[in-house]
Amino acid sequence: MESQAQAIAYGANFASVTFKILIECLEKNGAILPGQVQKALRATLGHPKAERYRLDYVLLAELLKQLDSAAEPPH
């Protein structure tokens, strides 16, 4: 992976993890309802005009995946 692509990948991962932590903090403190962000992300990604191949939509889908996996009870 070339250095520019690698920097973009690291930045995207950092942003995703940061949002996940922020969302969990807001939920724990009652600022947003549990699952509220996931519901909004599903609505955004499921919209008929959503261009899911675009990088911003790909990143939103990854954030949703991370939030969903964090919400699952441990095995």
| 55 burial via Cβ count (<10 Å: 0-12, 13-18, 19+) | exposed
Structure confidence by residue, pLDDT tens digits, 53-66: 898 899 999 999 99
Q: Please tell me the distance from the alpha carbon of residue 62 to that of residue 58, in angstroms, as a whole number.
A: 6
The more confidently predicted of residues 52 and 1 is: 52
Task: Give pairs for 14-20: CB < 8 Å, separation 24+.
Answer: 15/59, 16/59, 16/62, 16/63, 16/66, 17/66, 19/63, 20/63, 20/66, 20/67, 20/70
Structure confidence by residue, pLDDT tens digits, 20-58: 999 999 999 999 999 999 999 999 999 999 998 898 899
pLDDT value of residue 4: 87
pLDDT confidence bin for 12, thresholds 50/70/90: confident
